[in-house]
Amino acid sequence: MTAVAQPPLIEGRRLVKRFVGSLDLAGRIVARLGSDRGGWAVHAVDGVDIAIAKGEVVGLVGESGCGKSTLGRMIAGLLEPTEGDVLFRGRPRSALRGSEARTARLAVQMIFQDPHASLNPRARIETIVGEAPHVHRLVSNEELPAYVDEMLKRVGLDPALKRRYPHQFSGGQRARIGIARALAVKPEFLVCDEAIAALDVSIQAQVINLFMDLRAAYDLTYLYISHDLGVVQHISDRIAIMYLGRIVETAPAEELFRSPNHPYAQALLAEMPRIAPGKRTFHPIRGEIPSPLDPPKGCHFHPRCPHAMERCRLEAPLLKQVAPRRLSACHLNDA
């Protein structure tokens, strides 16, 4: 740890996730009779490299079905990658054993979108927040109640409410409970998957401010997954844009919004609803997002891309450096 550059806190290398469906009875009979129809396979994540340095906030943006949640879950350790590896402090997580593996897992926590589904409706919030530090013996039994109080206070909840159940809280308060639960095991890295998408605007602002306060207080690193460009622009240092299982562009937030490189990034930023006086005419990009069951050949974006050429239909572009700290996957950059 001297002059050598520190390895990124967390890194995904050539991450691939395929969800493969098995054939039902009718399908197996047809297959036996010589049909070449195999089971289906969704390439949710298709060879993604991502590295996140300590203290950085990386925003991961994309539309539904682009694989951003699957990527987040692989990085959080909730899903095993089909191929590739997740490295924690430069070492493959799958190679870690014993207490090292435990530390690496606890250091990465996840905050979920739906506070209804991610909180046990039958557990009091003191149990929800206190269970993990208790199980992992991070705090002693005597200190646990005070520790839970501190966590609740930290996220702006009144510890006097800790004997209540999740349904007795509002959506914004439930989001805070989810954050307190993640913080309780003293993580270094938080994966936030659409953590505030279900909340009202005024409550969203409260939770965004909380995220920024916590980052400063605990030196946290975030992977912030969202479809909301406004929120991502606000809190991220660096942004990665995904389309159909691949990252098409990564860049520092300000530079990306100033001059997006990839045609999809350009389209996405142009469609972003902004508060601005004066009516605006929308010039939407054509077409729909293709199904990840049967993605287009070559560059996944070519059927909707205004600049598509012959090469885009045949060959998938690689993520290449186009400027310092900026990567983009588009054949136009080679011209």
Partner 1 sequence: MSGREALSPTLEVADLRTHFFTKAGIVRAVDGVSFEVRAGEVLGLVGESGCGKTVTGFSILGLVDPPGRVVSGSIRLKGQELNGLDEAALRKVRGNRIAMIFQDPMMTLNPVLKIGTQIMEAVRAHRHVTRAAVRELACNALARVGIAAPEKRLEAYPHELSGGMRQRVAIAIAFINKPDLIIADEPTTALDVTIQAQILYEAQKLCRETGTAMIWITHDLAVVSALADRIAVMYAGRIVEQGATSDIITRPLHPYTQGLLGSVPSANRRGARLAQIPGLPPSLLAPPPGCSFQPRCPKAVAECELAAPPVTEPMVGRQVRCFRPLVAEPAAS
Residues that bind partner 1 (CB under 8 A): 63-64, 170, 172, 200-206, 208-209, 212, 227, 229-231, 233-235, 253-254, 267-268, 271-285, 288-289
Of the candidates 245, 287, 256, the residue with the CA atom closest to the CA atom of residue 82: 245
Q: Kindly report the CA angle at 275 between 271 and 276, in degrees rounded to 5?
A: 95
In whole angstroms, the minimum distance from the beta carbon of 89 to partner 1 comes to 27
Q: Give the residue with the Cβ less far from partner 1, 22 or 281.
A: 281
Q: Quick one: tokens of 77?
A: 């350790």
Beta strands in the chain (DSSP E): 10-20, 41-52, 57-61, 83-88, 91-92, 108-111, 189-193, 221-226, 238-243, 246-252, 320-323, 326-328
Least spacing, CB of residue 153 vs partner 1, in Å: 16
Residue 331 Cβ vs partner 1, minimum distance, rounded to whole Å: 21
Choice between 76 and 180, CB closer to partner 1: 180
| Residues across the chain | 335
Residue 37 vs 282, nearer CB to partner 1:
282
Detail the DSSP E strand segments found in 112-260: 189-193, 221-226, 238-243, 246-252
- Concatenated DSSP letters of 243-265: ETTEEEEEEEHHHHHH---SHHH
Nearer to partner 1, 168 or 209 (CB): 209
Contacts of 87 (CB under 8 A, 6+ apart): 7, 8, 10, 11, 12, 13, 93
Which is closer to partner 1, CB of 15 or CB of 267? 267
Residue whose CB is less far from partner 1, 147 or 261: 261
**CB under 8 Å to 61, separation ≥6 — which residues?**
68, 226, 227, 229, 232, 239, 240, 241, 242, 268
Closer CB to partner 1, residue 120 or residue 170? 170
Least CB distance from residue 227 to partner 1, whole Å? 7
Shortest Å distance, C-beta 281 to partner 1: 7
Residue 239 tokens, joined: 């942004």
Q: Write phi, then psi, for 48 (nearest 5 degrees).
A: -110, 135
CB of 177 to partner 1, least distance (A): 15
- Nearest distance from C-beta of residue 285 to partner 1, angstroms: 6
